[in-house]
Amino acid sequence: MKENISDEIIIRPFKPGDLFAVSETEQESFDVYGYPRFFFRQAYEICGDLFLVAEVEGSVAGYVLGALKYNSSDVWLLSIAVRKSYRRRNIAALLTEGLLNVCRGIEVKSVSLTVEPDNLGAIKLYRNFGFVEVDRIDNYFGHNEPRIIMKYLVHN
Ligand SMILES: CC(C)(COP(=O)(O)OP(=O)(O)OC[C@H]1O[C@@H](n2cnc3c(N)ncnc32)[C@H](O)[C@@H]1OP(=O)(O)O)[C@@H](O)C(=O)NCCC(=O)NCCS
């Protein structure tokens, strides 16, 4: 039976004390393709409540990072990751829901993201929330690095 620990999961804004845990989550999830630790500290300075973590029994189990696109009402979901030992427990879904709720509160009109076409788990997660594919770009991140662009329309 699938374990559901939603009741014990706290979704809250990132704080500087979370830096190492988020960085470890990043490395575990994306290896050398992950953001460096200093980037998360800088993201904290500029992203505010669009940078959320999931806390489970005092430990950071995952994060989602969004950023408002310059001069627009479009937020980009830049990254989401959950520690391997906490996956398939609804944590990414709660983080996504948390980010969308923040977006509703600041009158954002849409949320965009990119995802690797092979990342079926992440694509399913986003589709569950109503994200739809709007584009597919070959070599998005360089040679042989295609990405699907997905968009969610925020209903305030
Ligand atoms: C993608 C990721 C964030 C999902 O985190 P998670 O906490 O395990 O996801 P959830 O438990 O909230 O799953 C929500 C839904 O997403 C889908 N999903 C998540 N992981 C999946 C997988 N491995 N296979 C199939 N579906 C998956 C399912 O629909 C799931 O609902 P279900 O469990 O009822 O079937 C996590 O696997 C991860 O950190 N991966 C590495 C980083 C990454 O790829 N980030 C996304 C970059 S675009």
The answer to whether the CB of 92 is under 6 A from ligand 1 is yes
Pocket test for ligand 1, best of 6, 28, 123, 124 (most atoms within 8 A of CB): 124
C-alpha of residue 156 to centroid of ligand 1, in Å: 26
d(CA 121, CA 124): 5
The dotted CATH code for 9-153 is 3.40.630.30
Q: What is the pLDDT of residue 107?
A: 86
CB of 78 closer than 8 Å to CB of 42: no
CB of 90 closer than 8 Å to CB of 4: yes
C-alpha of residue 89 to centroid of ligand 1, in Å: 9
Using the predicted structure, report yes or no on whether residue 1 has a pLDDT greater than 80.
Answer: no
Domain ranges of the chain: 9-153
Q: 21-52, pLDDT tens digit by residue?
A: 999 999 999 999 999 999 999 999 999 999 99
Q: What is the pLDDT of residue 154?
A: 96
Q: For 94, phi and psi rounded to 5 degrees?
A: -65, -35
Q: What is the pLDDT of residue 141?
A: 94
The answer to whether the CB of 127 is under 6 A from ligand 1 is no
| The model's pTM | 0.95
d(CA 65, CA 77): 6
CB of 14 closer than 8 Å to CB of 22: yes
Beta-carbon contacts of 91 under 8 Å, excluding residues fewer than 6 positions away, are 9, 54, 56, 61, 62, 82
Pocket test for ligand 1, best of 88, 95, 111, 141 (most atoms within 8 A of CB): 88
pLDDT band at 2 (very low <50, low <70, confident <90, very high): very low
